[in-house]
Structure 1
């Protein structure tokens, strides 16, 4: 199972929106997808229609040893897409695991229980570079970074890439960067175009060709418990995420992509 962490320590960059809609797009393309909600806010779970009252077992129990993977996985309304929901209990993980020698490897060990059930796993990380994100990076083979088209984008990216290098050096030497996805692009704003150009000049081919536009329907969809690709598959945001999903599949190892 190919594991991809979706991370950016800066909040409000479209990270969870990207996780939900990429997971949906990959499932639509035929891949068996597991989305791990690893953010204490639990927005990915809400956005896929998993009610708070039905999250008795979640990613918190998964990494504290209170439940196995097959006990916490929930089916979603999207065929071939399952989710491990999240609760606010995750916010206490750094304190609870502070004395545990394997604290950075808990998620990796839990996902090892997957046993071929899914082709790909996306991990929606919290907007921080704490223990939860470190767990996700250790558990993953690659990293996808949603990057908002705004002034401070590159500054935050450099900090994240520094963390990736530290994880490679100490915990997961096989971690690669799958790509940078430009989000919240406003074609009416010259700054968005300038940031996009600057990021491509610095990062090069790591930047996906597809750009995710600002789109009201993308913002509306989570309140209905649906991915935008289901809520309104013809809106510009949905069409962009489908294009990004196809581009992502093209960057996956051949064994994973073949499943689509």
Structure 2
């Protein structure tokens, strides 16, 4: 119990004393995997909250018409609310649409409403359709340390907009059979976007989710992914954890729902690893 309480204080950071390194320039990360149910939204929400609770200014862009990231951050996204659709189709400034996340001072969210379902088709005839999101993010007057873009589980124009806007791709991989299936398609699309639309794009981070230590399969998948992607794979793995699954139904991240849980600790450690890698990488570029 005492350990849990200690972890909870470290994660919620009420004094603001514990900080994660801030990058020298905004890190725009597209969270993508066209397989559904691998933990994209859960990963987006929890990493964003962890970084925001530890001194970083963070924006979450919900690009999935289901609006699950908006739900997980308890941001209103019913019909009639200004959302990311308005930015993409009608050029409404991102700053007018971004909502402050309640209870987390450094975190904002651009919600998705059901209107976004039609955007895929409407974007087809729009000028510079692939770079609408990039332009909207670049036009935001306040700089962010991190921008996380939560993609739909498909490789259509919304995901292409995310890949053009981002500098980094973060891929959550579920530790299940067929984990690597379909990834080739995603990597091919990322390479196409890099060649034609965004030469700065880099698959920087792979995170293993829904890890069940009791199974040999999880271990085998982990080894497979580490052999395939090397040091892009975070050392921290996210366990299967009932608290992580419960949190969104309360409009919360696992960080605030049960900060002493294994799920919260794992996402905190993953966020710290991402923050430290970002600083190392920038230092490496500058060296």
TM-score, normalized by the shorter chain, greater than 0.5: yes
Q: Equivalent residue for 1:175?
A: 201
Q: Which of 259, 278, 283 is matched with 1:233 structurally?
A: 259
TM-score, normalisation: structure 2: 0.86
| Residues in 1 aligned to 2:67 and 2:266: alpha-carbon distance in whole angstroms | 24
CA 1:55–1:76: 2 relative to 1, 3 Å: farther
Per residue, is there more strand in 1 or in 2? Answer: 1
Confirm whether residue 211 of structure 1 aligns to residue 237 of structure 2: yes
| Residues in 2 aligned to 1:137 and 1:54: alpha-carbon distance in whole angstroms | 26
Q: Which of 137, 143, 147 is matched with 1:117 structurally?
A: 143
Paired residues for 1:1-260 under 5 Å: 1-53=26-78, 56-77=81-102, 78-253=104-279
Q: For the Cα contact (< 8 Å) 1:120–1:256, is it kept in 2?
A: no
| Residues in 2 aligned to 1:160 and 1:255: alpha-carbon distance in whole angstroms | 24
CA 1:103–1:39: 2 relative to 1, 3 Å: same
Aligned-pair CA distance for 1:254: 6.3
How many corresponding residue pairs? 257
| Residues in 2 aligned to 1:8 and 1:101: alpha-carbon distance in whole angstroms | 26
Aligned-pair CA distance for 1:117: 3.3
CA 1:54–1:238: 2 relative to 1, 3 Å: farther
Segment of structure 1 superposing worse, 207-216 or 59-68: 59-68
Unmatched tracts of structure 1, length 5 or more = none
User: Which deviations, in whole Å up to 9, do the C-alpha atoms of 1:92-111 show, x marking residues without a partner?
Assistant: 11211212230000000000
User: Which deviations, in whole Å up to 9, do the C-alpha atoms of 1:77-102 show, x marking residues without a partner?
Assistant: 22201000001111111211212230
Aligned-pair CA distance for 1:159: 1.3
Aligned-pair CA distance for 1:65: 2.0
| Residues in 2 aligned to 1:84 and 1:55: alpha-carbon distance in whole angstroms | 14
Q: For the Cα contact (< 8 Å) 2:91–2:136, is it kept in 1?
A: no
CA 1:255–1:166: 2 relative to 1, 3 Å: closer
| Residues in 2 aligned to 1:53 and 1:143: alpha-carbon distance in whole angstroms | 28
Aligned-pair CA distance for 1:256: 8.4
| Residues in 2 aligned to 1:255 and 1:184: alpha-carbon distance in whole angstroms | 27
Matched position secondary structure for 2:210 = strand
Unmatched tracts of structure 2, length 5 or more = 1-25
Matched position secondary structure for 2:125 = coil
TM-score, normalisation: structure 1: 0.95
CA 1:232–1:54: 2 relative to 1, 3 Å: farther
Matched position secondary structure for 2:115 = helix
Tell which structure's C-alpha radius of gyration is larger: 2
